[in-house]
Amino acid sequence: MAACLVTHPLDLAKVRLQTATTPGQSLFSMTYQIITKEGFFKIYSGLSASLLRQATYSTVRFGVYEYMKEQYTEKYNTMPSTAVLLPMSMVSGALGGLVGNPSDVVNIRMQNDSTLPVEQRRNYRNAFEGIFRIVREEGPGSLFRGLMPNLVRGVLMTASQVVTYDIAKNILVGNLNMDPSKKSTHFSASLLAGLVATTVCSPADVVKTRIMNAKGTSGGAVSILTTAVKNEGVGFMFRGWLPSFIRLGPHTIVTFLVLEQLRKFKVGMF
């Protein structure tokens, strides 16, 4: 959630770029357009949903992953290898994607609402009203729109992010003799993790965003994906890669820096 506060404007610009039907805008031109046309504070549109998403999705995936690592270490008295960490991270990511899907749907809709014609705007006041209205107006199942690509993204994100971070940290400490307690070590490992995660997750992230933002009558995942590929080409799945990295890089860095400090002071651990 701390990382979300830092990177939310970049996430908003990324979602706008991913849902745009005509490519060409940059991250900075999109951010400038939002500020000039909608007002400065509109770069924090949907913040409550974004915070709720991190409180559900990220809490579950990080919590389950760390718990499984601890249980493995206690049982076998050794740190798990990469072959063990990968399935752990995949299970954690899938669970996080499942728990966080409702808040993710609301998050994407709130961030993209201002781009819609006035008569189509949803105007959710906050994340909780958004969830309530989706259930009332579209049925509980709509909270799980885009669940499959979201699960795939959760698996890819967690596997590429946390496993890459652990591997990079071990290499920096073991091969380059960096201090495992130093913030510079955490920064370097998390930067590498952000780069890998952005590249691996970009296709699933774009597809997920399109599906969740679609109206209830827009067809299923396959229909939306087929239409996008037909109209825009396969390259649309990497739409917004640079803003995704500019957003996910700092987000990953802040996340792991905060996580390491929480671990150091044993906050929320027992």
In this structure, what CATH number is given to the domain that contains residue 203?
1.50.40.10
In a domain, residue 175? The reply is yes
pLDDT of residue 21: 67
Q: How far apart are the C-alpha atoms of 162 and 149, rounded to whole Å?
A: 19
Specify the number of domains making up the chain.
1
Mean pLDDT, residues 48-59: 95
Mean pLDDT, residues 59-67: 94
Domain that holds residue 46: 2-264
Looking up tokens 């990968």 gives 86
pLDDT of residue 24: 66
In a domain, residue 269? The reply is no
Between these two residues, 19 and 73, which has the higher pLDDT value?
73
Lowest mean pLDDT among 43-47, 164-168, 177-181, 239-243: 239-243
pLDDT at 19 over 90: no
pLDDT of residue 25: 76
Mean pLDDT, residues 115-130: 91
In a domain, residue 222? The reply is yes
Retrieve residue 150's tokens.
């979201």
pLDDT of residue 266: 81
Between these two residues, 83 and 224, which has the higher pLDDT value?
83
With CA atoms as reference, report the closest residue to 71 among 90, 84, 55.
Answer: 84
pTM for the predicted model, two decimal places:
0.82
Lowest mean pLDDT among 79-93, 166-180, 230-244: 230-244
| Each residue's pLDDT tens digit, 211-229 | 777 766 555 667 777 887 7
Retrieve residue 41's tokens.
């504070």
In a domain, residue 151? The reply is yes
What confidence tier does 97 reach under pLDDT thresholds 50, 70, 90? very high
| Each residue's pLDDT tens digit, 240-261 | 687 778 888 999 999 999 999 9
**Report for 158-167, 227-236, 258-267: range of highest mean pLDDT:** 158-167
Q: How far apart are the C-alpha atoms of 238 and 78, rounded to whole Å?
A: 39
Retrieve residue 259's tokens.
């996580």
In a domain, residue 270? The reply is no
In a domain, residue 137? The reply is yes
Mean pLDDT, rounded, of the chain:
88
Retrieve residue 242's tokens.
């640079």
Q: 81-90 — which CB contacts under 8 Å span 24+ positions?
A: 82/163, 82/167, 85/162, 85/163, 85/166, 86/159, 86/163, 89/65, 89/155, 89/158, 89/159, 89/162, 89/163, 90/155, 90/158, 90/159
pLDDT of residue 218: 58
pLDDT of residue 124: 93
Lowest mean pLDDT among 52-61, 81-90, 109-118: 109-118
| DSSP percent split of the chain into helix, strand, coil, nearest 5 | 80, 0, 20
pLDDT of residue 78: 92
pLDDT of residue 220: 64
pLDDT of residue 269: 63
Rounded to 5 degrees, what angle do the CA atoms 255, 247, 144 make?
80
pLDDT of residue 149: 84
Q: How far apart are the C-alpha atoms of 96 and 68, rounded to whole Å?
A: 14
pLDDT of residue 258: 94
Cβ proximity of 26 and 69 under 8 Å: no
